[in-house]
Structure 1
Amino acid sequence: MPPAPGDREARRKDVSEAVWRVLADKGFGGLTLRAVAAAMGVSTGMLMHYFPTKRALITHALDLLEKNTAQRPRRAHPAPGLATVRAMLLDILPLTPDDTARNRIWVSSWDLSLADDDLSAAQAARYARLRSTIRPHLEAARDRGELADGAEPERLATAAVAFTHGLVVQALFDPARFPEDVQTTLLDGFLTSLTRPT
């Protein structure tokens, strides 16, 4: 007998929490139906009522990761222009334990995404959305005269995302060399390179 809708929703919440625990502990490389079932203390067969294949589990995990990322605490946007761009980019960096865990999970998902056309397209769309959220603030910076002459907000949004995610990867692999203050200093240096000379 299938569970009642309310029971099913409660169980799905339990499953999502177990998926998150496995991701935080082992990344996508360790995300299996068996690992999630063990984290819940249930059988793999029970879990397969929710995720009949590993592909379904991975898709759910990526959705869960995106939702968790969207709902994380964020810095206030202090003023139009580069000040807001700085706040947005700081929110991406692994500056706290929670941000570090979230970034480790994202990076661990890349291998799966590169090997699957649909997941790869979804990841490309995520990056496009990120660039599109940064671009209006770079446009505001241009209009305020903060950017160097000839600055193109679209190109700068791409450069900002590429710089920030490159810094994320280095900080994850070598946290002793890239603590919070070093990451912040490097980001500020990057943003300064975009500005109009005074």
Structure 2
Amino acid sequence: MPRTKGDHEARRRDVSEAVWQVMAARGFASLTLRAVAVELGATTGLLTHYFPTKRALVEHALDLLERRTLSRPRRPAGKGLAAVRDALLDILPLTPEATDSNRIWVCSWDAALCEPALSTDYARKYAQSRERLTERVTAAQELGELPPGNAAHIAAGAQSFVLGLVVQALFDPAAFPPQRQAELLDDYLATLTARRTEIQR
């Protein structure tokens, strides 16, 4: 019997899951057609129907990573500074799923830095993240919870802080468990609100 469209889509989902499992278990650098084939229990020949080149595999992996990251459960959108905090908490590796996603993102930086097109795409993704965070910072400023000033500058600093914390937590999870990550984030946000108090004096 010929394969139906449903069969093809089901197989593609299986392939995507195998790609994810390879990245989560062994890192982005270990992503090869052979590794995915072993995870899937298939031949590399079958995978070439989906990924004729290593670049096609990498592009699919990055697209899968972005889709999984965006579909992760998020904290309900609050208001003001609480919304800024929630957005930053959603980035941190506080759960096993978030840890897997962050580990793969960090591992993929090497590939992105070596490929101009990927570098441009990553820069776009991080810029979009800053734009969304800037909107929340602006709202917190309007409520008087953050000091006035360049909201985009504050958002860039917050994004940089939290991405640095992600790296620390991935390398040394014992020293940076979820509770400590949250505490460090709160300490950082406290420095921003302290600036508001200084300005009001």
Corresponding position: 1:114 with 2:98: no
Q: How does 1:10-89 map to 2 (within 5 A)?
A: 10-78=10-78, 80-89=79-88
Structure 1 residue aligned with 2:178, among 162, 177, 180?
A: 180
CA–CA distance in structure 2, aligned partners of residues 185 and 5 of structure 1: 49
Q: Match of 1:59, as an amino acid?
A: E
Q: Match of 2:57, as an amino acid?
A: L
CA–CA distance in structure 1, aligned partners of residues 192 and 183 of structure 2: 15
Match of 1:125 in 2: 124
**May I ask how many residue pairs the two structures share in their alignment?**
196
Match of 2:95 in 1: 96
CA–CA distance in structure 2, aligned partners of residues 51 and 2 of structure 1: 21
CA–CA distance in structure 1, aligned partners of residues 140 and 168 of structure 2: 28
Offset of residue 8 of structure 1: 1.8
CA–CA distance in structure 1, aligned partners of residues 85 and 113 of structure 2: 29
- Cα RMSD after superposing both structures: 1.5
CA–CA distance in structure 2, aligned partners of residues 104 and 2 of structure 1: 40
TM-score (norm 2): 0.93
Corresponding position: 1:151 with 2:125: no
Moved over 3 A (4+): 1-4
Gaps of 5+ in 2: none
Gaps of 5+ in 1: none
**Deviation by residue 1:117-157 (Cα, 9 ceiling, x = unmatched):** 11111111110111111111110111111122x42111011
- SS state of the match for residue 90, structure 2? helix
Identity %: 56
CA–CA distance in structure 1, aligned partners of residues 61 and 152 of structure 2: 30
TM-score (norm 1): 0.95
CA–CA distance in structure 2, aligned partners of residues 31 and 104 of structure 1: 14
Comparing 174-183 and 107-116, the one that deviates more: 174-183
CA–CA distance in structure 1, aligned partners of residues 93 and 11 of structure 2: 31
